[in-house]
Amino acid sequence: MRSSLEQHQGIDMVNQPGAERAQNVQAMFGRIARRYDLMNRLMTVGQDVRWRREVIAKTQLPDDGRLLDIGAGTGDLAREALQQNPASWPVAADFTLEMMRVGKAHHNSTKLDWSAVDALCMPFPDDAFDAVVSGFLLRNVIDIKRSFQEQHRVLKGGGFAVALDTTQPPRNLLRPLIDFHLHFIIPNLGRIITGEAEAYTYLPETTENFLQAEKLAEIMEQAGFQQVGFRRLMFGTVAIHWGLK
């Protein structure tokens, strides 16, 4: 039987110290790996597929370019790169091995490489990739600026980094409906589909507590990126950010 702390882990993780939070986030994603893609489709009503297409399109990846999908999970963005550019060479990198195992088992490809990587200390050399992308990574890292600095380091000059992530929802007439979706629909879907309601309590809380899109753009610029921009999606709860090295 789980302890009371474990039962409320999704709530507690938002405010945990860095190293402890990273360890618990890794364990949480390992538990939900098998149903992660299905939950993404249900939570976003299938819109996440379109968002990922836009992320890859914004990279302007060369025909035979190398792309890094950092915080790849099951590799959705890396596979989308191959869909749009079959001659490209994507690398799907994550620090949760179970997520990558699920992705590799369900969508095996000889063109897609997998790598166990910490987003804050990547083993790749400088200027190694033509583009760097991430999907719902940044709200889970303990140092966003450092993550962007690492992405900037491994990116070639003239390449784009593009990040898909949540952002604080606006306070408007739709806010009650957004709150209902975040705090009732998503946790209950998570409980039914994955059996891990606490994970899908943590994820909505990170949406509400994550940075506003404008602040994330500022941090991206501080990390060295130029021509930084963003676009809000899904009633202002999600945003795509991009920047040029």
Quick: pLDDT tens for 183-238.
Answer: 888 888 888 888 877 778 877 787 778 899 999 999 999 999 999 999 999 988 89
The Cα–Cα gap between 233 and 240 comes to 8
Helix (H) / strand (E) containing 228 = strand 226-233
95 beta partners:
none
pLDDT band at 8 (very low <50, low <70, confident <90, very high): very low
| Distance in angstroms between the alpha carbons of the first and the last residue of the chain | 50
Quick: pLDDT tens for 31-90.
Answer: 887 888 888 888 888 899 999 999 999 999 999 999 999 999 999 999 999 999 999 999
The Cα–Cα gap between 205 and 14 comes to 7
What are the tokens at 75?
């590799």
Domains of the chain: 4-244 (3.40.50.150)
Three-state DSSP state, 163 = strand
Quick: pLDDT tens for 133-173.
Answer: 999 999 989 899 999 999 999 999 999 999 999 998 777 77
Quick: pLDDT tens for 99-130.
Answer: 999 999 887 778 899 999 999 999 999 999 99
